[in-house]
């Protein structure tokens, strides 16, 4: 694959090309070992791929082969090899949870099944449970899914759940196994494993809040502060907001700009600080920056809710890019990614 073609394909797209080249049965076997979000992301990339040359396919396969050969050596255990590969692919924080689920603990078929359900269905499954049980379940799910589930609950319960997640300090394996069995009686899913230390904590609470609507996010943080001001401030410190994108380096910002649709960026920048706007314009071509400025002026006033929705959408994309190692988040972002 040429350097130019390689630069245009992100990690997800290269993974999609590799799986497409394997054939249906082999690709299916690989995807059995992936989480719900990964399957959805790579599946979406597969549907978008067009005009893939034979040279590009060969390049992806060669790149994969070199990567595997370069990271596998005699004297290195399988566990250590797996750690290095996953940390290199996902970053240390993101990889730790995946590693723990693979290497430690008991089967978590029931909890894993919830990852494949929509937020409303998950909320119905856990609605009648004690808030502590709900907090454990949401701490286990991916932050964006947890935020959608959390939005299904009344305000008072949201505050209680987030505070419990933030102060959750692991869970006994037996208790987790019992919870998993209860869920598994009704829902079957993929097999995973879980190390108790990855459940909950302030970082998990901040991650979930980042995916809520801005109004819900602010109200929850304020409610938490009324009960425990110090905890509320700790959660706030770990949250990553749109204006924190100014801490992304220039190379990372250029990757973001290539990935974000122009109309969503235009809308999001309407509510951004001047310093962030200049950072964005600096990483565009002069002509593109001038056009963006003109379009912003011509657009006129827009609803705050529309601006916040566009910012949340872009932040979600940036987090995925950070998880894939395409972008390095600075400042607060390093604390939660």
Residue 66: the pLDDT is 67
The model carries a pTM of 0.45
Sign of the alpha-carbon dihedral angle for 316, 321, 322, 327: negative
Give the per-residue pLDDT at 161: 92
Q: For the domain with range 109-238, which CATH number is right: 3.40.50.170, 1.10.220.30, 3.30.420.480, 3.20.20.70?
A: 1.10.220.30
Instruction: Confirm or reject CATH 2.60.40 for domain 3-71, answering yes or no.
Output: no
The rounded distance, in Å, linking the Cα atoms of 281 and 286 is: 8
- List pLDDT tens digits, range 105-160: 334 567 777 777 778 888 888 888 888 888 888 888 888 888 889 989 988 899 99
DSSP string, 266-309: HHHHTTS-HHHHHHHHHTS-HHHHHHHHHHHHHH----HHHHHH
Tell me if domain 109-238 and domain 242-336 are identical in fold: yes
Q: Return the SS3 of 105.
A: coil
Angle (CA) 233-234-235 rounded to 5° is 90
State phi, psi for 49 to the nearest 5 degrees. -70, 135
Residues of the chain below pLDDT 50? 1-7, 72-76, 103-107, 188-197, 331-337
Q: What is the CATH number of domain 242-336?
A: 1.10.220.30
In the chain, what are the domain boundaries?
3-71, 109-238, 242-336
Q: What is the pLDDT of residue 192?
A: 38
């Amino acid at each position: 694959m040429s350097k130019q073609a390689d630069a245009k394909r992100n990690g997800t797209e290269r993974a999609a090309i590799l799986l497409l080249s394997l054939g249906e049965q082999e690709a299916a076997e690989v995807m059995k070992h992936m989480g719900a979000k990964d399957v959805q992301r790579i599946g979406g990339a597969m549907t978008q791929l067009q005009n893939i040359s034979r040279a590009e396919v060969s390049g992806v396969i060669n790149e994969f082969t070199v990567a595997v050969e370069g990271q596998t050596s005699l004297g290195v255990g399988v566990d250590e090899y797996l750690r290095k590969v996953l940390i290199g692919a996902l970053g240390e924080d993101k990889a730790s949870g995946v590693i723990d689920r693979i290497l430690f603990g008991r089967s978590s078929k029931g909890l894993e099944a919830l990852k494949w359900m929509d937020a409303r269905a998950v909320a119905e499954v856990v609605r009648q449970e004690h808030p502590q049980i709900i907090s454990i379940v949401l701490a286990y799910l991916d932050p964006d899914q947890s935020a959608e589930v959390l939005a299904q609950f009344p305000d008072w319960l949201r505050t209680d759940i987030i505070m419990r997640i933030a102060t959750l300090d692991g869970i006994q394996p037996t208790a987790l196994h019992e919870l998993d069995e209860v869920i598994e009686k009704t829902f079957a899913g993929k097999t995973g494993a879980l190390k108790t230390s990855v459940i909950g904590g302030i970082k998990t609470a901040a991650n979930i809040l980042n995916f809520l609507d801005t109004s819900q996010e602010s109200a929850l943080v304020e409610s938490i502060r009324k009960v425990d001001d110090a905890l509320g401030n700790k959660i706030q410190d770990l949250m990553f907001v749109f204006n924190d994108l100014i801490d992304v380096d220039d190379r990372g910002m250029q990757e973001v700009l290539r990935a974000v649709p122009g109309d969503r960026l235009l809308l999001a920048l309407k509510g951004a600080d001047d310093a962030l706007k200049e950072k964005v314009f600096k990483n565009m071509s002069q002509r593109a920056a001038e056009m963006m400025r003109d379009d912003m002026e011509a657009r006129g006033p827009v609803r705050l809710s529309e601006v916040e929705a566009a910012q949340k959408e872009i932040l979600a994309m940036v987090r995925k890019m950070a998880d894939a190692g395409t972008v390095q988040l600075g400042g607060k972002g390093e604390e939660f990614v």
